[in-house]
Structure 1
Amino acid sequence: MVNARRASIADIDGIMRVEEDWPEYQRATRETMLVRLAKFPEGFWVFEQDGEIIGTLTSCPTRYERSGIKRYKSWDEVTNHGRFPDVDMATANALYLVSGTLRREARGARTYALLVETPVKLAEELGLDYVVAGAKIPGYDAYCRRHGEVDARDYAFLQLNGCLIDPFLEMYRGYGFTVPDRDHIVSDFYPDLPSRNHGAIVVRELKRSGRGDGEPGTR
């Protein structure tokens, strides 16, 4: 059974072992992980199985508005190069999922569900309106090679038998996330060859009452 808990500095060695499952050019450094722990510890989790850390998830508060999506130009810009922007809970209305990793042998539907629902619970506790992530679209390059070139903003919405053809986007959809429109597909968002460096800004709106500024889903 996999359990989630908030990370501490004492977990740093286990955190870095899990980080090795990323390609080397995508790994965070130990220093970066320690900065994340210091800046927003409540949004840094480890996932354990039989007493061993088998996954991590980091997040930070952000401001999301559908009409202001152009501020999400790159993962580096959103996350302050992975070191988290200064936390401003007075203006934040969303929790941004910065990174998440599971060791290959621990991956499965139940574990992924825990990985997603853990930050959703925190966002609800903080009174936020959204959980947002910059998702890879790892099927994009392979699709173009097989079927011919297609705009990434079109690819992200292609379906087969009612399912999105991109496996990552379909997984996110299964957990309540959507790609609101074509502007949420961003070129040069994150270095990932299968995605041709594109990212999809996926959004899960939290169902809360009492929003008071007249625009659905903002604070």
Structure 2
Amino acid sequence: MVKARRASVADMDAIMRVEEDWPEYQRASRETMLVRLAKFPQGFWVFEQGGEIIGTLTSCPMRYERGGQKGFRSWDEVTNHGALPDIDMATANALYLVSGTIRKEARGARAYALLIETSVELAEELGLDYVIAGAKIPGYDAYCRRRGEVDARDYAFLELNGCLIDPFLEVYRGYGFTVPDRDHIVSDFYPDVPSRNYGAIVVRELRRAGRGGGAPSSV
């Protein structure tokens, strides 16, 4: 059984072993992980199975405007190159998922569900309205090679038998996230060859969204 708990400095060796599951050029350094832990410890989790850390998730509060993607031009810009931006809870209305992974041998529906629901619970505790992530679209390059070129902003919404063509976006949809519109597909968002460096800003709107002063007005 996989369990979630908040990370500590004592977990750092195990956290860095999990980070090795990323391609080398996408891995965070130990220094970066320590900065994330210091800046927003309540949004840094480890996931354990049989007493071993098999996954991590880091996050930070930020401001999201439904009518535009200011500040979402790249993962580096959103996350301050992985070191987290300054946090202003007075204006924040969303929890951004900076990075998360489960070791290959431990991956499964239950582990991913726990990863998502852990972040949703924190967002609700903080009174935020959204959980947001910058998702890869790893089926994009392969699709274009097989079927011919298509705009990434169209590809993200293509379906087959009721499921999104892109497997990663379909997984996110299964956990309640959507790509609100074509403007949420961003070129040069994150270096990933299968995605042709495109990213999809996926948004899970929480039940309280649209109520009170924290939610942005619709555009």
TM-score range, shorter chain: over 0.9
* Residue type at the aligned position of 1:121: E
Helix, strand or coil: the match of 1:15? helix
Superposed CA offset, 1:7-41 (max 9, x none): 00000000000000000000000000000000000
* Residue type at the aligned position of 2:20: E
* Aligned residues: CA RMSD: 1.5
Q: Does 1:54 align with 2:42?
A: no
User: 1:4-153, aligned counterparts within 5 Å?
Assistant: 4-153=4-153
> C-alpha separation between the residues in 2 aligned to 1:166 and 1:103?
22
Helix, strand or coil: the match of 1:66? coil
Q: Is the 8 A contact 2:138 2:194 kept in 1?
A: yes
User: 1:121-200, aligned counterparts within 5 Å?
Assistant: 121-200=121-200
Superposed CA offset, 1:30-68 (max 9, x none): 000000000000000000001100000000001001112
Give TM-score scaled by structure 1 length: 0.96
Q: Is the 8 A contact 1:129 1:217 kept in 2?
A: no
Superposed CA offset, 1:87-111 (max 9, x none): 1100000000000011000000011
Helix, strand or coil: the match of 2:190? coil
Unmatched segments (≥5 aa) in structure 2: none
Deviates more, 1:191-200 or 1:203-212: 203-212
Aligned residues: 218
Identity of aligned residues (%): 84
Give TM-score scaled by structure 2 length: 0.96
> C-alpha separation between the residues in 2 aligned to 1:208 and 1:215?
9
